[in-house]
């Protein structure tokens, strides 16, 4: 039976204890040093993500390639979202994954979460790639500092909540390596292009997080 991210969740429930309070997470454990992805939503937080619960589906897809995932729920759910507090949460998640010796670490965030993962990625040398979905532009001033980490920005052409110019702005701000994808017909949640989005994310994250094989490894 095909995996349905709307109904299936999975993951190991855990709490990351911090000085600012506990952070609730679901951990999908991948292969040792196989890479891992932290996923965060918008101001509503939660574990499911946009595009009709794409995060559990994506976690399942990545596990098939040995890549783990940490679905992280923000401690604070208010609008507008406090980027500094969200960044604190994501960096706590990064520290947890470093302790697990997962290898390369990626970040993905939707809407407000896009600004959070850009900021966290710029502040952490442990992060290898950052992906934003329908990101806001507020709170993205550190985008130029992401380099040499890779950045993928995905936005719906019909987004009426945060227009695609938000991602275009961040793209202009950021340095290479970077890529911008505007999906025709998609709105803020990107659900209109869900399966295409799912495939794009798996492709990008496999390339960014899979351990590099060297000639010595092959010997």
pLDDT in tens, 17-45: 999 999 999 999 999 999 999 999 999 99
DSSP, res 3:
-
The predicted structure's pLDDT at residue 1: 30
Assess contact for 69 and 212: CB atoms under 8 A: no
- Tell me which residue has tokens 């574990």: 47
Length of the chain: 219
- Report the pLDDT value the prediction gives residue 7, as an integer from 0 to 100: 39
Q: What is the Cα–Cα distance from 126 to 121, expressed in whole angstroms?
A: 8
Between the alpha carbon of residue 155 and those of residues 114, 120, 188, 202, the distances in Å are: 11, 20, 8, 17
Mean per-residue pLDDT, 207-219: 63
What is the predicted pLDDT for the residue at 9?
74
In the chain the first and final C-alpha atoms are separated, in Å, by 39
Q: State yes or no: pLDDT of 216 exceeds 60.
A: no
Instruction: Please count the CA atoms within 13 angstroms of the CA of 203 that sit on its side-chain side.
Output: 7
Q: Locate tokens 């600004």: which residue?
A: 115
Task: Tell me: pLDDT of 218 over 50.
Answer: no
- Please answer whether residues 38 and 121 qualify as being in contact, where contact means their C-beta atoms are separated by less than 8 angstroms: no
Res. 126: pLDDT tops 50: yes
DSSP 160: S
| pLDDT of 6 strictly over 50 | no
**Dihedral sign of CA atoms 93, 95, 101, 105 in order:** positive
**What share of the chain has pLDDT > 70, as a percent?**
93
pLDDT greater than 90 at residue 8: no
Helix (H) or strand (E) holding 202: helix 194-209
> Could you tell me if 205 and 67 are in contact, meaning their C-beta atoms sit under 8 angstroms apart?
yes
pLDDT category of residue 196 using cuts at 50, 70 and 90: very high
CATH architecture of 24-209: 3-Layer(aba) Sandwich (3.40)
Q: Alpha-carbon distance 121 to 147, whole Å?
A: 10
Q: In percent, how much of the chain has pLDDT > 90?
A: 91
Residue with tokens 């506990």: 22
Residue 105's pLDDT band (cuts 50, 70, 90)? very high
């Amino acid at each position: 039976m095909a995996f349905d991210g709307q109904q299936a969740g999975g993951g190991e429930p855990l709490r990351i204890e911090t000085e600012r309070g506990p952070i609730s997470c679901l951990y999908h454990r991948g292969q040792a040093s196989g890479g891992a992805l932290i996923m965060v939503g918008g101001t509503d937080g939660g574990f499911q993500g946009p595009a009709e619960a794409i995060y559990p589906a994506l976690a399942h897809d990545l596990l098939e390639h040995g890549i783990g995932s940490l679905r992280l729920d923000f401690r604070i759910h208010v609008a507008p979202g406090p980027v500094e507090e969200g960044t604190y949460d994501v960096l706590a998640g990064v520290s947890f994954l470093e302790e697990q010796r997962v290898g390369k670490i990626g970040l993905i965030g939707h809407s407000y979460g896009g600004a959070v993962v850009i900021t966290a990625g710029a502040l952490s040398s442990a992060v290898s790639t950052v992906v934003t979905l329908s990101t806001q532009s507020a709170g993205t001033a550190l985008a130029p500092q992401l380099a040499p980490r890779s950045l993928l920005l995905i936005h719906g052409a019909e987004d009426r909540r945060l227009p695609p110019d938000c991602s275009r702005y961040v793209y202009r701000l950021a340095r290479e390596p970077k890529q911008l994808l505007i999906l025709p017909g998609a709105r803020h949640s990107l659900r209109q292009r869900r399966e295409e989005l799912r495939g794009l994310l798996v492709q990008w994250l496999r390339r960014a997080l899979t351990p590099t094989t060297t000639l010595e490894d092959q010997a």
